[in-house]
């Protein structure tokens, strides 16, 4: 019997304005029915191109070479009619449904029914029954068929995508970043559901993601792609446990195992970290450099009901420490950060800076914001695309009228953000920089004001795995060398383990647990912290050691 999917010497070339780009080279993969295969790699590695080529969904500019055998039949040579018949009935795709893979103006039931109507001759009442059955399989109430995508949460949309993929009972499911942009807890639910359904029905699964830990939890075999080639392939535990290729090691290090002493205060960075300076034992009773006391922010919804976003938070960020604020989306962590920065007026309580109340006058706020700087998640949109690096970094000092030579200040800030040699970056525009370099420019813009606290909202969430470690290393280095305090907002517990001194866990507007990283992540007391840790695809090292 032929394998379910076989890729022989697959190559994909895109014709672009500047000549040809080889996105995929010499890829050989085999998948037997019922097997699970994970393809890992960062953006641009060609992993999504491989997935899309299986159903010939690549843009017109792509040229495919080699063979793609689906149930023994070469997809590359199929006529359009045959190809359309094979699509979804032999192999279906689970896209990143949480984002835009569902049509926003059609009800999800309609979208699930569409391939059923197309590929089977089921009578209309039976189609509706089949949709209800599929929704039940993904643990959604059948009534959700009448919902529009925007009425569903990210996890629910992803479940709809899975239901849709199962609609025509295909032998193969290609899942392209199925859990990216989902919260850890929801991610765990979706992964469990998907692996369960696939195993139950003996469906072959190809899972594509940048997150190795997700693959390790769901796939028997893992292939790692780098620059269009497969650099390593083997059983999941082996690739994760004893990565042979350098790039696999970088990928694995980007998602550290919580509790693993090797990755504590050791983000994956190529530059060496300075040694830990001697730090005074902080006075637990004195307020931190930046402090919140019984802080409350309440929004009103359309019907005038009070919605507490931040409900009585006490938090201290001390000199010379990095605090990670952890919680899932909607927990109020971004509102808390905005309020600390004076961008959102608190409904109650107070924000203290260096022991005194943060001023509310615009002049006072301006001075305060020089001290407390914000770094945003997406460097691509945080930078004005028409401003050069020099202008982007010089803007802050100009607004605040900082003394000294402007060029000196900019160069110094770029140097601190490790953009070296700084002169070569001055005249460049954001689109000429990589994602990691852009985030460094954003950080340099903040450093140019010589702040004492950085508030970073998901600073690495939109960056590639190999760049993540570098940016985290930068934050840690700034703390060690300059004593720069930071409040890092994240949904990623591994990040906290990597660089933070203390962790504050936020749930429904309240801090349910605050303490040192070791204390909170290794011996969680609150149920919510435990559920976050349990949702980590890899579990924690302490769980490994206990043999769970």
Partner 1 sequence: MTSTTDGHLAADLDERRAGTSTPRFVAGKVGGALASLVLVVVLGFLLFRMIPGDPVATMTRDRPTSPEQLALLRERLGVDKPMWQQFLDYFGGLFQGDLGTSYMYSRPVADMIGERLGPTLLLVGTATVLAVLLGMWLGIRAAWKRDSAFDRVQTGVALTLWSVPQFWLGLLLLIATQGLFPSRGMRSPDVPEGFVAQSLDVAWHLTLPCVTLLAVIYAQYMLVMRSSLLEEMGSEYLTTARAKGLRDDLVRRRHAVPNALLPAVTLVFLQFGMVVSGTITVEAVFSWPGLGLLTYEALRGPDLPLLQGVFLVLAGSVIVMNLLAELLYRVLDPRVRAS
Phi/psi of residue 490, nearest 5 degrees? -155, 160
Residue 156 contacts partner 1 per CB under 8 A: yes
- Candidates 114-122, 235-243, 269-277, 413-421: pick the segment binding partner 1 (CB under 8 A): 114-122
Residue 114 contacts partner 1 per CB under 8 A: yes
Q: Would you call the peptide bond into 357 cis, given omega within 30 degrees of 0 as the criterion?
A: no
CA dist 69 → 31, 222, 363 (Å): 10, 20, 68
Distance of closest approach, residue 441 Cβ to partner 1, in angstroms: 27
Sign of CA dihedral 540, 542, 545, 546: negative
Residue 14 contacts partner 1 per CB under 8 A: no
Distance CA 142, CA 161 (A): 14
Residue 477 contacts partner 1 per CB under 8 A: no
Residue 155 contacts partner 1 per CB under 8 A: yes
Residue 157 contacts partner 1 per CB under 8 A: no
Among 31, 49, 88, 464, binds partner 1 (CB under 8 A): 88
Residue of 464, 415, 385, 409 lying closest to 425 (CA atoms): 415
Residue of 427, 464, 469, 460 lying closest to 442 (CA atoms): 460
Residue 88 or residue 425: which is nearer to partner 1 going by CB?
Answer: 88
Among 4, 101, 188, 422, binds partner 1 (CB under 8 A): 101
Longest CA span, the chain: 78
Contact 524, 516 (CB under 8 A): no
Residue of 237, 231, 189, 235 lying closest to 213 (CA atoms): 237
Contact 248, 231 (CB under 8 A): yes
- Candidates 15-23, 192-200, 411-419, 506-514: pick the segment binding partner 1 (CB under 8 A): 506-514
CA end-to-end span of the chain = 38
Residue 92 contacts partner 1 per CB under 8 A: yes
Contact 252, 469 (CB under 8 A): no
- Candidates 91-99, 220-228, 278-286, 536-544: pick the segment binding partner 1 (CB under 8 A): 91-99
Contact 93, 173 (CB under 8 A): yes
Residue 93 contacts partner 1 per CB under 8 A: yes
Residue 86 contacts partner 1 per CB under 8 A: yes
Residues 198-237 that bind partner 1 (CB under 8 A): none
Residue of 278, 285, 223 lying closest to 251 (CA atoms): 223
Among 115, 256, 342, 436, binds partner 1 (CB under 8 A): 115
Which tokens in the block code for residue 171?
């032998």
DSSP type of residue 263: G
- Candidates 144-152, 226-234, 404-412, 538-546: pick the segment binding partner 1 (CB under 8 A): 144-152
Among 102, 145, 417, 504, binds partner 1 (CB under 8 A): 102
Residue with tokens 């082996």: 238
Residue 509 contacts partner 1 per CB under 8 A: no
Residues 402-461 that bind partner 1 (CB under 8 A): none
Distance of closest approach, residue 9 Cβ to partner 1, in angstroms: 24
Among 251, 528, 538, 539, binds partner 1 (CB under 8 A): 528
Distance CA 215, CA 122 (A): 36
Residue 57 contacts partner 1 per CB under 8 A: yes
Residue 52 contacts partner 1 per CB under 8 A: yes
Among 45, 49, 96, 187, binds partner 1 (CB under 8 A): 96
Residue 112 or residue 341: which is nearer to partner 1 going by CB?
Answer: 112
- Candidates 97-105, 199-207, 227-235, 430-438: pick the segment binding partner 1 (CB under 8 A): 97-105
Residue of 501, 505, 438 lying closest to 471 (CA atoms): 438
Residue of 498, 497, 438 lying closest to 467 (CA atoms): 438
Residue 21 or residue 57: which is nearer to partner 1 going by CB?
Answer: 57
Residue 186 or residue 484: which is nearer to partner 1 going by CB?
Answer: 186
- Candidates 70-78, 94-102, 392-400, 446-454: pick the segment binding partner 1 (CB under 8 A): 94-102
CA dist 248 → 44, 239, 472 (Å): 15, 8, 19
Distance of closest approach, residue 295 Cβ to partner 1, in angstroms: 19
Among 201, 249, 400, 526, binds partner 1 (CB under 8 A): 526
Distance CA 152, CA 98 (A): 9
Distance of closest approach, residue 129 Cβ to partner 1, in angstroms: 20
DSSP type of residue 4: S
- Candidates 6-14, 103-111, 129-137, 410-418: pick the segment binding partner 1 (CB under 8 A): 103-111
**β-pairing, 372-375 with 502-507?**
unpaired
Q: Residue numbers of the site for partner 1 (CB under 8 A)? A: 52, 55, 57, 83-89, 92-93, 95-96, 99-106, 114-115, 118-119, 148, 150-153, 155-156, 164, 185-186, 302, 328, 330, 507-508, 512, 525-528, 531
């Amino acid at each position: 019997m032929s394998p379910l999917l076989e890729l022989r010497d697959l190559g994909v070339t895109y014709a672009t304005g500047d000549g040809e780009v080889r996105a995929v080279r010499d890829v050989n993969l085999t998948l037997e029915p019922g097997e699970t295969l994970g393809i890992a790699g960062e953006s641009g590695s060609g992993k999504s191109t491989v997935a899309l080529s299986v159903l010939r969904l690549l843009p017109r500019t792509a040229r495919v070479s080699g063979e793609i055998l689906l149930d023994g039949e070469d997809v590359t040579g199929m006529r359009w009619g045959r190809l359309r018949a094979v699509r979804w009935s032999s192999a279906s795709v689970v896209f990143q449904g949480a984002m835009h893979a569902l049509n926003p103006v059609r009800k999800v039931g309609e979208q699930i029914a569409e391939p059923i109507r197309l590929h089977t001759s089921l009578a209309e009442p039976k189609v509706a029954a089949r949709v209800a059955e599929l929704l039940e399989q993904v643990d959604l109430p059948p009534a959700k068929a009448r919902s529009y995508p925007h009425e569903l949460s990210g996890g629910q949309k992803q479940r709809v995508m899975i239901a849709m993929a199962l609609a025509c009972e295909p032998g193969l499911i290609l899942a392209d970043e199925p859990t990216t942009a989902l919260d850890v807890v929801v991610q765990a639910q979706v992964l469990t559901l998907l692996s369960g359904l696939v195993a139950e029905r003996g469906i072959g699964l190809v899972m594509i993601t940048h997150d190795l830990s997700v693959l390790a939890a769901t796939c028997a075999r893992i292939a790692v792609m780098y620059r269009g080639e497969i650099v390593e392939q083997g059983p999941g535990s082996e690739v994760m446990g004893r990565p042979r290729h350098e790039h696999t090691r970088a990928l694995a290090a980007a998602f550290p195992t919580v509790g693993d002493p090797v990755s504590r205060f050791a983000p994956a960075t190529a530059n060496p970290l300075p040694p830990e300076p001697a730090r005074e034992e902080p006075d637990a009773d004195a307020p931190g450099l930046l402090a919140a006391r019984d802080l409350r922010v309440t929004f009103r919804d359309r019907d005038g009901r009070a919605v507490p976003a931040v409900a009585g938070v006490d938090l201290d960020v001390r000199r010379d420490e990095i605090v990670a604020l952890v919680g899932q989306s909607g927990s109020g962590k971004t509102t808390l950060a905005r309020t600390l920065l004076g961008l959102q007026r608190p409904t109650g309580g107070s924000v203290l800076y260096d022991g005194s109340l943060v001023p509310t006058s615009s002049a006072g706020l301006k001075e305060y914001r020089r001290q407390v700087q914000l770094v945003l998640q997406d460097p691509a949109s945080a930078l004005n695309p028409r401003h050069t690096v020099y202008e982007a970094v010089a803007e802050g000092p100009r607004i605040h009228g900082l003394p000294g030579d402007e060029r000196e200040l900019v160069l110094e800030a770029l140097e601190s953000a490790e953009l070296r040699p700084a002169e070569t970056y001055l005249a460049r525009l954001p689109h000429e920089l990589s994602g990691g370099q852009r985030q460094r420019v954003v950080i340099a813009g903040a450093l140019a004001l010589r702040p004492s606290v950085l508030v970073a909202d998901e600073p690495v969430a939109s960056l590639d795995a190999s760049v993540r470690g570098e940016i985290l290393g930068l934050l840690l280095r700034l703390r060690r060398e300059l004593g720069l305090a930071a409040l890092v907002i994240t949904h990623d517990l591994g990040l906290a383990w990597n660089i933070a001194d203390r962790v504050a866990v936020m749930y429904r507007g309240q801090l349910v647990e605050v303490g040192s990283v070791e204390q909170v992540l290794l011996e969680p007391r609150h149920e919510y912290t435990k559920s976050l840790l349990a949702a980590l695809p890899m579990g924690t090292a302490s769980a490994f050691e206990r043999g769970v």
